[in-house]
Structure formats: structure tokens, C-alpha cells
Amino acid sequence: MKTNEAIQEMKASMRLPIVMAPMFLVSSPKMVTEACAAGIVGTFPALNARTKEILEHWMEQITNELEEMKKDNPNKKIAPWGINFITHRSNKRYTEDLQLIEKYKPPIVITSLGDPSPVVKIAHEYGGIVFSDVIDIKFAKKAIAKGADGLVLVASGAGGHAGQLNPISFLHEVRSFFLGPVILAGGMSKGEDILASEVLGADFVYMGTRFIPSKESEASQDYKQMIVDSAIEDIIYTDAFSGVHANYLIPSITKAGLDPTNLKPKQEIDFNKLQTEAKAWKDIWGAGQGIGPIKEIQTISEIVDELETSYEKGIRNIKQRNAVYMK
């Protein structure tokens, strides 16, 4: 199947052009199937499954549940699912996980950190689509040259390992040399954000933080509540915890016994000497700048319903404003 046909088929099965971003230690098979059932793409990082055997169980579970769902609900929009695969050779399960992708044929594969071409070769054999996540123009061009079907533009404000480019400027520049499918990421949490991204030229948006406080999420109750209670000023962009810049929740850093105004480089933070057993990502939590509008813990279905309502409201508002100026 050609990329354009695959994207058209993908969009036809979705209520909204949202890809629920793969989130380390948060995404699960339950989140994936519930997202797909709600009409948005559900994804998860392969390495959330701690072993190859667990990953195979998860992929089999997702495949079977979605097949049953489609059989039982032939007229319902059930979106495809995807997996995030680390393509860098430092991934110790590189070969094994790639074999599972070949076996279970996820419709969407999102590659990170390396050459996507081995994944492209396999995915294209079964009609899958490969997106590569990138944080700048250099990596965008490399991914395209290596055969990626589409790009995930991880711009400023995204949760976790975000880039530093403004999402509007980043998208415009990519569109000057790439007309293929693009997913835009960067602090989006409302339906109006989806609409704005489409107007700018994105095909889909990436939303992660919006789904952390979902009832199906693997995040702890404290993590979920911290998302609900926090605002944009509670986000810090630092390389102190992984060696690569990422957006984190300041309250979680404080809770871990660290001073967010005086963070040391990663190699100088000795968590064993702190008055806590806190660990990066497990206890020091990632979140994006779109955190402010998130006000309650909901099911994924409820979140998608809310996003659809605000998306449609955004369309009506544009029409109403245009009508005023036409008078």
C-alpha cells in the first residue's frame, strides 16, 4: 500500500487526528486499545515491556482485542495502533523487537534515535507506516533520506525529551522540503490546538501529557494528581536527569529532595545519597507545557469526547468570526 493510501485509510478510521504519544512507564496495552476504541491512534514504547516475552504478549493482546472490537462494532471508527521502537544499536533488544514488529505487523511504527530504514523495509512489506520522531531540521532530513514515510516534529513544550524549536516555525520549515505526513508535538492539550495544527499544515497531533491523568494510565495516582494540580510554571526544561534536555514537573523534583533552581549535571546527581529512593522518570516525572487546561482525572473515552467538543467549538468560532467581518 502506498503512503498516501495508507494515510487516507488511517484518517478514515479516526474521530480526531490525534496520536496518543508513547510514554515511558506510562503507556500500556490497555491505554492503546482504549485510545483506538475512542477513535484516536494509541501507541506505546516497546521498552515499556520489560522483556521480549512480555512485549510479545502485549502485541498479541492488542492485535486480538482490536480485531474483536472491529468484528463486534463494524460501523464504529476504531483507529489503528502503533509502537515506538528505538532504532539506535544501543537498544539491547533491537533484533528481537524488530522480529516482533515483523510478526505482529503494527499499522504504525514510530522510530527514535537512529536509522529507520530497517524498520521501513519490514513495515512496507506488510503495508505499515513508519514515522520518525525528530527535534530539528537536520534529523528531519536524515529520516526522510533513510526512507521514513512521515515525521513526528517534537517541538518546544512537548513532554519528556522535547526539542527547542517553536512548533509553528518548525512545521513551516519542514513543509518547505517535505510534503508527506507530519505529526506535530509541542504542548497541545485542547481541541482548538488540533485545529490550529491542521491549519498550519500538520496531518496529526501528538498528545501525551493530556492522557497521563487518564484512568487507564499506568502513572501513579500521585503523578496523575500532580498533572491536574500543576500549571505551565511548574514545568522545567533540563538535562540534569537523563543527560538530554527534557520537560519535567518541578513539584516531583522537589519531592525527590532536589532544588529545581540549583540542579547539577546528571553525572553529579547521586540519588543514592539523597534522603529518598527517587529515580528519574519513575519518580521525577515528565510533562509538557500544555498542562494548564488539564483539570481532572478522566477515562480516555471522556478525554476524547472533550477534545472533540472543543475541536468542533473551534470550527464554529472561526465561522462566527468570519461572519462578523463579512457584515
pLDDT tens per residue across all 327 residues of the chain: 678 888 999 999 999 999 999 999 999 999 999 999 999 999 999 999 999 999 999 999 999 999 999 999 999 999 999 999 999 888 999 999 999 999 999 999 999 999 999 999 999 999 999 999 999 999 999 999 999 999 999 999 999 999 999 999 999 999 999 999 999 999 999 999 999 999 999 999 999 999 999 999 999 999 999 999 999 999 999 999 888 899 999 999 999 999 999 987 765 555 444 444 567 788 899 999 999 999 999 999 999 999 999 999 988 888 777 766 555
> Contact at 8 Å (CB) between 207 and 189?
yes
| Angle at CA of residue 213, ends 212 and 217, nearest 5° | 60
The predicted structure's pLDDT at residue 271: 46
Q: Where are the domains positioned within the chain?
A: 3-218
Integer Cα distance of 192 and 198 in angstroms: 10
Contacts of 43 (CB under 8 A, 6+ apart): 19, 20, 21, 22, 27, 32, 81, 82, 83, 84, 108, 110
From the list 148, 203, 176, 188, the residue with the least C-alpha distance to 287 is: 188
User: Which of these CATH numbers, 3.30.110.40, 3.40.920.10, 3.40.50.10490, 3.20.20.70, describes 3-218?
Assistant: 3.20.20.70
What phi and psi, each to the nearest 5 degrees, are found at residue 158?
A: -70, 155
